[in-house]
């Protein structure tokens, strides 16, 4: 997390949150460039021996300015829609560093990806391969593809974000994968360049990755195709609360080093949350404080439309006051949003720093799957997004106007 108190006041890097609030209407997202850069460089350093192509997962945060900043650091992009592809290109990411993933790409999306000559289209079914071959033939192109394999590995994460088990909708089962490889000669306008795998998200144990590498090693050795790339996906978890542990990336990197040496291939990663998760904060104002029974409800102007993860995944994100007081609210405290849903709740505490109506709070670690999951539910405008870089405050998405959504 990039937040720190100086005295009673909350800062992001060396910039006070109060100074950011002066230029923005709450709620709004604020990102630390310093933290995002450090996360990217940390990830790169762990895998420096394999020299991977790092393709930032655009679905985790699709702000063009952030993608552009990561591109300057050397990142490519992993995209899952035409919209994300166009954002990556707008951010000056070269097509040769873009991987197009996703289980249900439309014909229109595939045409754009073929026309733009992205590095890889990761296919998830034989039907998709047939369609890409047909479109490539019509467009007089040879298209490079990766084959996503379903390794049948439990990622030991939330079921809603587990994607590597045999009963999930993702990838080709091992038997289908081998059959596809043996019969690949019939696809005249395709070139298999990669094997792709992605077993889930918010994974904080190395063990599922170890199992996945073992599955990949065996099946690649059984395949008649020499793959140039192995796309190992992402899913690297981060701690959202103080009692949660980090994934041991250093240990995983040792396994990947051995894997690459054994198979003599290039490695692709698709990190998202690991890069931007703890670089983002959602600043919100307290609208009302009300007491029902023995509980105080802190009603914020940010809701599940602005930040969906707690409602969607029951995710817990710590909330801290922008002005920290020594006095406490005694008893149960629940932070909630203004949306007409009982699921519009953020986090509960037994005691909390004294708060008043119109005070500001910071919802922490929201850089991934925050703004990218936001919506206009209840006809509420999308929040602004701001980046703090070298002491300068820059709006990278202005707050939406009501007139733009009615």
Helix (H) or strand (E) holding 175: helix 174-182
Instruction: Tell me: pLDDT of 22 over 70.
Output: yes
Domain(s) labelled CATH 2.40.37.10 in the chain stretch across 3-31+277-404
Instruction: Tell me: pLDDT of 36 over 70.
Output: yes
Q: How confident is the model at residue 329 (pLDDT cuts 50, 70, 90)?
A: confident
What confidence tens digit (pLDDT) does each residue in 270-302 have?
999 999 999 999 999 999 999 988 899 999 999
Out of 55, 181, 265, 340, the active site residue is: 340
| Residue 121 · residue 145 · CB < 8 Å | yes
| Residue 370 · residue 332 · CB < 8 Å | no
Fold of the 3-31+277-404 domain = Lyase, Ornithine Decarboxylase; Chain A, domain 1 (2.40.37)
What confidence tens digit (pLDDT) does each residue in 339-374 have?
999 999 999 999 899 999 999 999 999 999 999 999
Instruction: Tell me: pLDDT of 268 over 90.
Output: yes
How many C-beta neighbours within 10 Å does residue 360 have?
A: 19
What confidence tens digit (pLDDT) does each residue in 99-154 have?
999 999 999 999 999 999 999 999 999 999 999 999 999 999 999 999 999 988 88
Instruction: Tell me: pLDDT of 331 over 70.
Output: yes
* Residue 379 neighbours by CB under 8 Å, 6+ apart: 402, 405, 406
Residue 163 class from Cβ within 10 Å (0-12 exposed, 13-18 middle, 19+ buried)? buried
Quote the pLDDT of residue 1: 66
List, as one string, the DSSP characters of 101-162. Answer: --S---HHHHHHHHHHT-SEEEE-SHHHHHHHHHHHHHTT--EEEEEEB------SS-GGGB
Quote the pLDDT of residue 191: 96
State mean pLDDT over 25-41: 98
Is residue 340 annotated as part of the catalytic site, yes or no? yes
Fold of the 102-269 domain = TIM Barrel (3.20.20)
CA–CA dist 212, 37 (Å, integer): 28
Backbone angles phi, psi at 358, to 5 degrees: 80, -5
Q: How confident is the model at residue 243 (pLDDT cuts 50, 70, 90)?
A: confident
**Mean pLDDT computed over every residue of the chain:** 95
């Amino acid at each position: 997390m990039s937040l720190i108190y100086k005295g009673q006041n909350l800062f992001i890097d060396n910039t006070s949150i109060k100074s950011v609030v002066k230029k923005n209407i709450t709620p709004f997202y604020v990102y630390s460039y310093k933290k995002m850069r450090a996360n990217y460089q940390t990830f790169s350093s762990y895998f420096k021996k394999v020299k991977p192509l790092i393709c930032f997962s655009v679905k985790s945060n699709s702000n063009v300015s952030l993608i552009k900043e990561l591109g300057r650091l050397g990142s490519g992009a992993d995209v899952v829609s035409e919209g994300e592809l166009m954002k990556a290109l707008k951010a000056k990411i070269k097509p040769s560093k873009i991987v197009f993933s996703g289980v249900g790409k439309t014909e229109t999306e595939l045409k754009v990806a073929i026309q733009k000559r992205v590095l890889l289209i990761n296919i998830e079914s034989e039907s998709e391969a047939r369609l890409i071959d047909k479109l490539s033939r019509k467009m007089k192109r040879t298209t490079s593809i990766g084959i996503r394999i379903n390794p049948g590995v439990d990622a030991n994460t939330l079921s809603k974000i587990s994607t590597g088990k045999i009963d999930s909708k993702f990838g080709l089962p091992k038997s289908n994968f081998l059959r596809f490889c043996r019969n690949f000669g019939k696809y005249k306008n395709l070139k298999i360049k990669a094997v792709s795998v992605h077993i889930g998200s918010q994974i904080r144990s190395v063990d599922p990755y170890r199992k996945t590498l073992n599955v990949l090693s065996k099946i690649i050795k059984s395949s008649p195709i020499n793959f140039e790339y192995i796309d190992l996906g992402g899913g690297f978890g981060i701690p959202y609360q103080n009692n949660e542990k980090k994934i041991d990336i250093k240990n995983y990197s040792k396994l990947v080093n051995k894997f690459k040496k054994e198979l003599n291939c290039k490695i692709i990663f698709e990190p998202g949350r690991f890069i931007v998760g703890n670089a983002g904060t959602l600043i919100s104002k307290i609208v009302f404080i009300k007491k029902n029974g023995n509980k105080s409800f802190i009603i914020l102007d940010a809701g599940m439309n602005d930040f969906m993860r707690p409602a969607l995944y029951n995710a817990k994100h710590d909330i801290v006051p922008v002005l920290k007081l020594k006095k406490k609210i005694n008893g149960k405290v629940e932070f909630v949003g203004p949306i007409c849903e009982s699921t519009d709740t953020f986090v509960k505490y037994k005691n909390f720093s004294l708060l008043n109506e119109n005070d500001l709070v910071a919802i922490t670690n929201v850089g991934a799957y925050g703004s990218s999951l936001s919506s206009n539910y209840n006809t509420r405008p999308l929040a602004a997004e701001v980046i703090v870089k070298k002491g300068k405050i820059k709006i990278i998405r202005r707050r939406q106007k009501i007139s733009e959504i009615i």
